[in-house]
Amino acid sequence: MDYVALSGEKPSTVRKLIREGKWKLPTSGLSNGYTQANLVILPEKYAYDFLLFCQRNPRPCPLLEVLDTGNPFVELTATHADIRTDIPKYRIYKKGILGEEVADIGPVWQSDFVSFLIGCSFSFEQALLDNDVPVRQIEEKCNVPMFRTNIPCKPAGIFEGPLVVSMRPMTEQQAIRAIQVTSRFPSVHGAPIHFGNPEKLGIRDLSHPDFGDAVTVRDGEIPVFWACGVTPQAAVMASHPDIAITHAPGHMFITDRKDTAFSIL
């Protein structure tokens, strides 16, 4: 099994392979056209603050689904999916510190866990490619570069922190098209939040991202910045909850919903 073989498979098939331990790699490109989601799991005592944080910061924190307390079964965005096993790799944080990476969180599952599935820019990147807008980190086969900005999120209870953005370089003409294309996807980050001078966001060096990998910015290209799903994870870790579980970077939850279902036009 490889990426090419699984790119056309149904999400339920790929989730089953993941659940059985037969696929342990990043999920980019699998079940092409279906929405992939970030995961944050928190004990119920933090859930209201986190839900409010997402409500107040919808651009970086577009919630796709919130499971009932203690329920590990996805209801709205997928069927027959178990959030404890259907992601290839999880990260377990205690007091905000990364501990283990595991392939199955069944052994550490708690009856007070609330699982949050959050939209991801994978959903609009296919739309960019379909519109001949380059997605450099795909061309360069690396992770998208992400930067902490000087823009504070709206705090909610114990959660606060800076807006984290992802960056894709392109020409001005491509940026205009990218603004049009991504505006159609308000529930997966939507339109960019800035283009051009990174210093206006407090970003000093595009070649040293805070998360992910640096990509080439070619002559004649400008950086374009989108609100990024790393924002809520960073806010969670900074608040040092007793325990928090997330997907490992690039190892996402594959939903049964098509990317186009999240476009409003």
Binding region for a second copy (CB under 8 A): 47-48, 51-52, 54-56, 63, 65-66, 76, 154, 183, 186-187, 190-191, 264-265
Whichever of 171 and 187 has its CB closer to a second copy, that residue is 187
In whole angstroms, the minimum distance from the beta carbon of 50 to a second copy comes to 10
Whichever of 56 and 200 has its CB closer to a second copy, that residue is 56
**Element (DSSP H or E) covering residue 166:** strand 162-170
| Helices and strands (H and E) in the chain: how many | 7, 11
In whole angstroms, the minimum distance from the beta carbon of 262 to a second copy comes to 11
Going from the C-alpha of 127 to that of each of 13, 132, 175, 177, the distances in angstroms are 24, 9, 13, 11
Amino acid (one-letter) located at 253: F
Whichever of 146 and 191 has its CB closer to a second copy, that residue is 191
Going from the C-alpha of 263 to that of each of 91, 124, 159, 186, 188, the distances in angstroms are 30, 9, 29, 7, 9
Whichever of 97 and 264 has its CB closer to a second copy, that residue is 264
Distance CA 58, CA 52 (A): 10
In whole angstroms, the minimum distance from the beta carbon of 86 to a second copy comes to 21
Cβ contact 216:169 at 8 Å? yes
In whole angstroms, the minimum distance from the beta carbon of 145 to a second copy comes to 26
Please name which of 75, 76, 66, 64 lies closest in space to residue 46, comparing C-alpha atoms.
66
Whichever of 5 and 265 has its CB closer to a second copy, that residue is 265
In whole angstroms, the minimum distance from the beta carbon of 108 to a second copy comes to 23
Whichever of 154 and 200 has its CB closer to a second copy, that residue is 154
Distance CA 126, CA 166 (A): 16
Helix H segments across 119-183?
Answer: 122-130, 136-139, 172-183
In whole angstroms, the minimum distance from the beta carbon of 177 to a second copy comes to 14
